[in-house]
Structure 1
Amino acid sequence: MREIILLRHAHAEAAAAGQDDVSRPLSLRGEAEADAAGAWLKQHAATPVRVLCSPTVRTRATCERVLAALGYADLRVEPRIHEATPATLIRVLDDHADADTVLLVGHNPGLETLVALLTEGASDSGRGMPPGAVAWLTLPAGTIEPGSARVRHFWWP
């Protein structure tokens, strides 16, 4: 079995005048959400072998706070995650198929659509992923196909 833990970044500040989307930081609420996500993942014995993180400030801050709770993991900043479609996210995960447990920290709508596609087989269904939410999926080893995953846990702060 392979485990894929998808984590949506926590709440971010609204963009200031002239600030681009990539540089938006976490809000105080987002910091608390990221800490709660890290504590929840630790409580549930999450042990990612590799962490893939979007390069935005808010995803990197979310990731740092979560990893502070979990401890060391092989962290890789992956530019393709920002504004990714489910197809792109699948390619990213396929590129890291050697890791049996991956934590991917990214954005909506890509993450919630990916969860729907992998679990339901259709990308137009799904429950959404609020900021700081975790979707922990299990899949047969060696495959990432529509409808092949099972939701092990779904949590949000």
Structure 2
Amino acid sequence: MATREIILLRHAHAENADPGQEDIARALSVRGEAEADAAGAWLKQHAAAPERVLCSPAARSRETCERVLAALGYTDMRNEPRIYDATPASLIRVLDDHADAGTVMLVGHNPGLETLVALLTEGASDSGRGMPPGAVAWLSLPAGAIEPGTAQVRHFWWP
């Protein structure tokens, strides 16, 4: 049976919002930059080779993604507005829309990502272990439509 790989990457630590600044504009902190670089190095060490990279439009997600992709030597990052502030159901729809790619990297936010991991691996959205900033959950699941409880965690890493 064919399998599909999904690499979920939570954005690294971001600066606190300045007064009046929108959440979506928050940039990575110095700590976050180091976390993103570490995530990129870890993914390169583990031979990550995404066919498609989908990223939230939030500044902290884009900056995390750019740093990780620089380490991987990959340049095709697609802005995906549906990832920002997404529920697990929304994230599944995004992934289903890209079912033609065997390995998809999705860069986004909590609580959506950690809840998605729990739903896909355990079949329940309330049993997750959490995803710290900069964390990677690398899942393997059967090709086709994404269903709860069908994924296996291939790797789980955080800086």
Q: What is the TM-score when the length of structure 1 is the normalising length? A: 0.99
Shift, 1:72, TM fit: 1.8
Q: Does 1:62 align with 2:64?
A: yes
| Local SS of the residue matching 1:55 | coil
**d(CA) in 1 for partners of 2:74 and 2:40?**
13
Match for residue 120 of structure 1? Answer: 122
What amino acid is aligned across from residue 38 of structure 2 in structure 1? A
Q: Deviations over 1:6-59 (max 9, x none)?
A: 000000000001100000000000000000000000000000000000000000
8 Å CA contact 1:50, 1:73 repeated in 2? no
Structure 1 residue 75: Cα displacement: 1.6
Give distance in 2, aligned partners of 1:95 and 1:86.
Answer: 14
What is the count of residue pairs matched by the alignment? 157
For residues 91-135 of structure 1, what are the alpha-carbon distances to aligned partners after superposition, in whole Å with 9 as ceiling and x for unaligned?
A: 000000000000000000000000000000000111000000000
- How far residue 143 of structure 1 moved from its aligned partner, in angstroms, is 2.7
SS at match of 1:137: strand
2:44 to 42, 45, 62: 42
Partner residue, 2:82: 80
Which residue does the alignment assign to 1:135? 137
Change over 3 Å in CA distance of 1:26–1:99 after alignment to 2: same
The AA in structure 2 aligned to 1:96 is H
Q: 2:109 aligns with which of 107, 110, 128?
A: 107
Supply the RMSD in Å over aligned alpha carbons. Answer: 0.6
Which amino acid is 2:9 matched to? L
Unaligned runs of 5+ in 1: none
Q: Which runs of 5+ in 2 are unaligned?
A: none
Question: What is the aligned-residue identity percentage?
Answer: 83
TM-score, normalised on structure 2? 0.98
Counterpart position of 1:15: 17
Give the conservation status (yes or no) of the 8 Å contact 1:48–1:73: no
